[in-house]
Copies of this chain bind each other. A is one copy, B any other.
Amino acid sequence: MIVSMLPWSADFAGRMHEHVISSELLRGNPLGDPYERPLLVYTPPGYDDSPDRAYPVVYVIQGYTGQVAMWRNRTAFRQPFPETADAMFARGDAPPAIVVYADAWTAYGGSQFVDSPGTGRYHSYLCDEVVPYVDARYRTIPDAAHRAIAGKSSGGFGAMITPMLRPDLFGALATHAGDALYEYTYIPEFPHAVRHLRKYDGDIARWWDQFRSRVSFTQPEDMPLVALLGVAACFSADPDGTPVLPFDPVTGVLRPDVWQRWLDWDPVRMVPAHADALRGLRGIWIDAGTRDDFNLDVGAEAFRSALLEAGVSADSIYFELFDATHAGIDYRYPLSLAWLCQRMAD
């Protein structure tokens, strides 16, 4: 931006570095999405002046329909998270860390940060390509104890599951209104989808074709169906990549085997099998708004409860429900970022 002045722009105390990572794992992905991805790496104040110092890293991932360029979006009377994160470090609210903004967008609007024949290998790309890329180019402390992951909504989901699957890589996490307890996250949406699909004879592919051929989001079904289709692509795609809905689109009746594939990705249900990994984490931040549109406050409670039952120490958990919906909670991100940095510094 041309003027470094609020509300149009702000100077950083640290520095934001722009990269393009060329992903071998995303090459040839089923949706034909770009395998070259933008990557933003933020180095905190002091980084350039302390050439011998190594830093913890926090990976930040986004919610559904998010892509990394949106971190620059400006809204009235607020600043983008990269700026509030920078201000947090500039104030000295937490020990400095590198912050990495990774991109996992797909043509369906998201990847849920999993490997899927429906979308591509986004989990592996994040763990096996982005992390080494950053470690190779920045003075990181390259171990799990100094690597955290954070996100909101689908990004919160990614932040919950990635350390479960890769405790060798990630030692702390923060989830803001992360997808959890899928009967309340997803099931209330299914009957609405059935209704929306009536005008497409129950065929979501027909809606998708139409959606791509016209102005997006001019129909009330557009947002719920894009999310449904996208999550089906992530969780329950056929081997050939075709997304399979977890319910009959005409009667709404659940398809138990398909729905089970979704449940297998429910963080609450994943906890017992990954109890060791979770007990080893240095910090788990969980929060959500008490009026979350997808009931993710209830999911947050359930996730915490599952953690405690799995033997995770209450001391390693920060938990808070606050008055909010699912929207407008970006002001929470610097809070968890500071907390993660403190946990990793201890």
Contact = CB atoms under 8 A, between A and B. Distances in A.
Interface stretch (A86-94, A118-126, A211-219): A211-219
A326 to B, nearest CB: 13
B331 A253 contact: no
A20 B2 contact: yes
B3 A20 contact: yes
Report the interface size class on chain A: 35 or more
A184 B78 CA distance: 29
A29 B52 CA distance: 48
Given A183-B254, A188-B187, A74 B76 contact: no
A251 B187 contact: no
Q: How many copies of this chain does one complex carry? A: 4
Nearest to A6: B34
B298 A194 contact: yes
A314 to B, nearest CB: 15
Contact of A216 (B73, B78, B103, B305): B78
Given A184-B252, A252-B181, A298-B251, A290 B195 contact: yes
A272 interface: no
Nearest to A305: B251
Given A72-B72, A76-B109, A67 B302 contact: no
Given A3-B38, A36-B3, A67 B250 contact: no
A5 interface: yes
Given A9-B69, A78-B215, 6 more contacts: A1-B18, A70-B75, A77-B216, A181-B253, A184-B190, A252-B301
